[in-house]
Amino acid sequence: GNALEGYTMDRARRSFRALMQLAPATARVLRGEREQAVPIGEVRVGETIVVRPGDRVPLDAVVLAGTSALDQAPITGESVPVAKSAGDELFAGSINGDGALEAQVARAAQDSTLARIIHLVEEAQSQKSQAQRFIDVFARRYTPAVVALAVLVAVLPPLVLGGAWGVWAYRALVLLVIACPCALVISTPVSIVSAISATARA
């Protein structure tokens, strides 16, 4: 159970790291007549950026000039490229098609749609749901009770009734296997982590 949870958590972390890498580290910013590569954290709202064919959009922006079709699947999950022209919104992390675009930055890097998605994924990973908390409390009480009952099944009948030790030890093991709370304990966290992983990959 723990191994499965660890594997699922690792997959979610890998998907999360891939999500964080969707936005490029720099943006092509028009300052004066020159195009400059500027770290996205230093680009100001209202500045004009250039998105060349094949580029990832660095920041949320509104198209000023140019037309293209963008792959927004990493952000919206929509698999069909979306046509963009003047006045349309661009999402950070989207992949530009074969047209060049000039766009005005609408939100700072830390406020972009991609940044908000990453923040929500971080929160979901760090916080336990009410169901998880309930399962944890339940397991802390249920597991010792099952183990104690299995010990009694293995020991009492041979001592009190003169039963065969091997038979009752086997029955105690069967009880442990059937009553083991592993599936119950792991079901909620694995479901949540799997959902996080799927969201991060979407």
Concatenated DSSP letters of 151-173: HHHHHHIIIII---HHHHHHHHH
Edge-to-edge strand ranges of the sheet holding 89-90: 34-39, 26-31, 48-51, 101-105, 61-65, 89-90
115 neighbors 92 (Cβ within 8 angstroms): yes
pTM: 0.57
Residue 23: predicted pLDDT: 77
Residue 143: predicted pLDDT: 80
Residue 155: predicted pLDDT: 92
Element (H, E) at 130: helix 130-156
Q: Which segments of the chain have a pLDDT < 70?
A: 1-20, 121-122, 124-129, 131-132, 181-202
DSSP state of 44: P
Residue 189: predicted pLDDT: 59
For residue 61, count other CB atoms closer than 10 A to its CB. Answer: 27
**What residues contact 190, with CB distance under 8 A and at least 6 apart?**
4, 5, 8
Residue 201: predicted pLDDT: 47
| Spatial CA neighbour of 117 closest among 18, 11, 7 | 18
Residue 5: predicted pLDDT: 58
Residue 4: predicted pLDDT: 56
Q: Which amino acid is at 118?
A: I
84 neighbors 69 (Cβ within 8 angstroms): yes
